[in-house]
Chain A
Amino acid sequence: MFGVDVLCPTVADADRLAALVVAALGPDGVSVATHLCACQAPQHVSLSIEVSPRADLRLLRETVGPERGAGAAAAASAHLCRTGGRLVHLPGLDRLRGTVTVADALRIVDRVVLLGGQVPDPQTPLVTRDFVRPVLADGALVLTVDPAAGGAVVPFETPTPTPCCVDPRLSRGLRLPRPCTWTPSKSWPRRSTPTKPSSR
């Protein structure tokens, strides 16, 4: 288990980094979680990465770049102890695509709960929107869902949250500084896309 804190400003930035990690290491045996980190100001997002024993750790380090924040240890510890972390990648999670059932989700996560605490019927349709981000809490992996149209449920977290007002997506043609966009530093791995075959 590795913690990584390179001061991702937002959850979306951390998701992009997580995707790079999975692309670099390959999807098998890898779990990546994001962690909101208030360990230093400004608040930011750190990652925890569980890798298979065969993983190329040099490639992992090359992918995430040099450590810049102080949240790595806390992230790794929360993931390991299953007390915190929002799973971006987890073996089997990518099977939850399109519309499945709550029962299907329960093959991957420990619990599915409706916002407010009620437990949906296992046969309830779960419209995944191809974006499922269960959260570790109290030793369990929990997917919180919202009620949705037609008696279905959807994951609480939407892939397309309404952006802040000055976001260019809301104002086509506008060129304003992007408050919600993080640019990888030069040491980041755009130049080191995994062309190298992994140790597998």
Chain B
Amino acid sequence: MSHDHHDHDHPHPHSHEPVTLPAAMDLEVPDTELAPCQLGRRRFLQSAGVLGAGTAALSALGLGQAAPARAADGSVPRSDPSPLGGFRWLSGDHHIHTQYSPDALYRVIDQVQHANAYGLDWMVITDHGTAQHTRIGVELTNPDIKAARALVKDTLVFQGLEWNIPAAEHGTVFVHPGANEVAVLKQFETDYDGSGPDGTRARSASTPENEALARTGLTYLASAVDSKRVQDALMFANHPARKGIDSPHEIRGWRDTAPSIAVGMEGAPGHQAAGIPAPIGPGSGRGYYDNSPGSASFAGYPLESYRTYGGFDWMTSTVGGLWDSLLAEGKPWWITANSDSHQVYAETAQRGDQNFATQGFYGDPVYDPSGPKLNNGDFWPGYYSRTHVGSTDFSYAAVMAGLRAGRVWVDHGGLLGSLDVRVRAGGKEVPLGGVLVAPKGSKVEVITTITTATRPNWSEFVPRLAKVDLIKGKITGPTADTDSFRAPGTRVYGSFDARGITGTKTVVTNLGKLDGPVYLRLRGSDGNRLGTGLHGASVDPAGPVQDVVGDADPWLDLWFYTNPIFVYPSS
């Protein structure tokens, strides 16, 4: 679409800045004309089935047609086997700690067998970057992970790291299993972790040099994939708004530096039990979000950003907020929901020893007869937070491909049984994370297939979905202000009452004619805590409410969020 062709016959509420189709999505541009990063984007669009031939193949996959259910070794995924939309929705968690973290407790197998029991298909072990982990833990974890893979075949166990991002918060970094998984993680941690191999944390300071070091670290991971030292690698920013230290320009910088590696952030942090009131719980902020601005915080963030809303991070829960500001640029940036499990609520075990500093891990947990620890703020992986990835098969590679493609939705407390969202226009259809290009004027429809929860969750009740919101945002193109965290063209487009739905139901929402680039995403709730969003009722009339610090029961405030689908008009 060029400015000359812009249609002035009818009023446009949107800006008259022309928005052109990204080159990676325009099949008129041959591969050879694309910059490497654009080519990477095109490849993953193609592998995700949203461009060219893939689109047709994907449209042909109807509901109920199963993708391959079985991995080569005969193992099957752990979750509900019904494939919605032609994908296996594999539930997982990319943020889990073990005895190789200075603030955690469990063996690898403790986390893996709990995650497996609670229904997870994939998980990532992410111990903190520390001097000890760099030197000892990263290597010692690997045999434990390999043993767990052998014992528990129906949950995929990735090895990763909780990266102290130089000058910023924490992030998950993980790689595809393989001969070099430890070597690459160890090298990455040695050279790019904020703790530094000397443990001085000089790299953590909020300086331009350290911000650059973070980006170089992501480039290192991209090169490790390009050179085939590892088959794949991904990075997600963790609890991004917790302390206000992930500035908008740093987030954009990670994404833009390595768009095939740095693909998203936690939409909901872990530690979801932390807000259970004392004395039966920690009485802290949900997600341990109880901070206030500090010396390293981005000065532009409002105080509201330091709290969670319906259990979700402010960047994600605010309609028209930071996440939307990235999506409105047309930038793929995906959200996840994880446990950040260190020590779970009401745990009855304690550390076998306290020798982390000298040996790089704590001794195996032992029973603690003093009684359950109600001051712990975490849940087991799979117990409360789930990240569902639309995967083409049950494999490490498919989970990573699905995450990179943004074919992801997340929920708390088992709010939904399953979910598939498509956008249809111009005779084509794309799934979550997809990019659809259709002639201007095409009818745009959102097709939402919901399977309600039929089995009890891990608090032994069957959650009831009350409503679903469709959020629509204008794609206005790249912003000059890399510290922007507002998307004024994004609002709740409409909602439907879901209380009557049982079993599987498809809802088709007609969005009218395509007259400009937009993105669409969904959110839904149990309806227990609803209020006006931070940008007013015209943007979000019934959104999540700020969690009360010291009084946030996670089971009485359940939400799901989907990742977006982008729709562009062709010329």
Contact = CB atoms under 8 A, between A and B. Distances in A.
A20 interface: no
A161 B306 CA distance: 11
Contacts of A56: none
B509 interface: no
B207 interface: yes
B201 A177 contact: yes
A158 B285 CA distance: 10
A45 to B, nearest CB: 5
B380 interface: no
Interface stretch (B330-338, B436-444, B546-554): B546-554
Nearest to B354: A173
Choose among A116, A154, A156, A166 the residue with the greatest number of B CB atoms under 10 Å from its CB: A166
Contacts of A185: none
Given A10-B295, A166-B128, A116 B304 contact: yes
Contacts of B550: 148-149, 154
B296 A43 contact: yes
Q: Chain B's interface: helix, strand, loop or mixed, by majority?
A: loop
Interface stretch (A34-42, A57-65, A101-109, A190-198): A34-42
B292 A166 contact: no
A29 to B, nearest CB: 27
B103 A170 contact: yes
A173 B288 CA distance: 22
B562 interface: no
A115 B307 contact: yes
B354 A174 contact: yes
B549 A41 contact: no
A199 to B, nearest CB: 34
A174 B357 contact: yes
A158 B290 contact: yes
A11 interface: yes
B265 interface: no
Contact of B206 (A41, A116, A144): A41
Contact of B103 (A8, A37, A43, A166): A166
Contacts of A164: 243
B546 A36 contact: no
B102 A176 contact: yes
Contacts of B130: 166, 176
A190 to B, nearest CB: 22
Contact of B295 (A43, A144, A176, A177): A43
A167 B551 CA distance: 25
B205 to A, nearest CB: 4
B205 A42 contact: yes
B557 to A, nearest CB: 14
B373 to A, nearest CB: 13
Contacts of A43: 206, 295-296
A150, A156, A161: residue with the most chain B Cβ atoms closer than 10 Å: A161
B548 A161 contact: no
A183 interface: no
Contacts of B274: 162
B357 A176 contact: yes
Nearest to B243: A164
A99 to B, nearest CB: 14
Nearest to B170: A165
Contact of A41 (B205, B243, B551): B205
Interface in A118-161: 144, 146-150, 154, 156-158, 161
B543 to A, nearest CB: 12
B291 A161 contact: yes
B170 A42 contact: no
A172 interface: yes
Given A36-B293, A158-B290, A166-B102, A115 B304 contact: yes
A36 B296 CA distance: 8
Contact of B208 (A41, A161, A166): A41
Nearest to B362: A171
Contacts of B295: 8-11, 36-37, 42-45
A170 B243 CA distance: 17
B297 interface: yes
A174 B294 CA distance: 24
Contacts of B564: none
A166 B277 CA distance: 25
A156 B290 CA distance: 8
Interface hub of B170, B200, B296, B307 (most chain A Cβ within 10 A): B296
Contact of A176 (B199, B297, B354): B199
B189 to A, nearest CB: 14
B102 A179 contact: no
B347 to A, nearest CB: 15
Nearest to B296: A43
Contacts of B260: none
Contacts of A42: 205-207, 295-296
22 contacts: A8-B295, A11-B293, A41-B208, A42-B296, A43-B295, A115-B303, A115-B307, A146-B546, A147-B546, A148-B548, A148-B551, A149-B548, A161-B290, A162-B284, A162-B288, A164-B243, A165-B101, A165-B102, A171-B356, A174-B354, A174-B357, A179-B201
Given A9-B295, A116-B304, A144-B303, 20 more contacts: A10-B295, A36-B294, A41-B206, A42-B205, A42-B207, A43-B296, A146-B549, A147-B546, A149-B283, A154-B549, A158-B290, A161-B292, A162-B274, A162-B288, A166-B130, A170-B103, A171-B102, A173-B354, A177-B201, A179-B201
Interface of A: 8-11, 36-38, 41-45, 115-116, 144, 146-150, 154, 156-158, 161-162, 164-167, 170-177, 179
Query: Which 4 interchain pairs have the tightest Cβ spacing?
Result: A173-B354, A149-B551, A42-B205, A162-B288
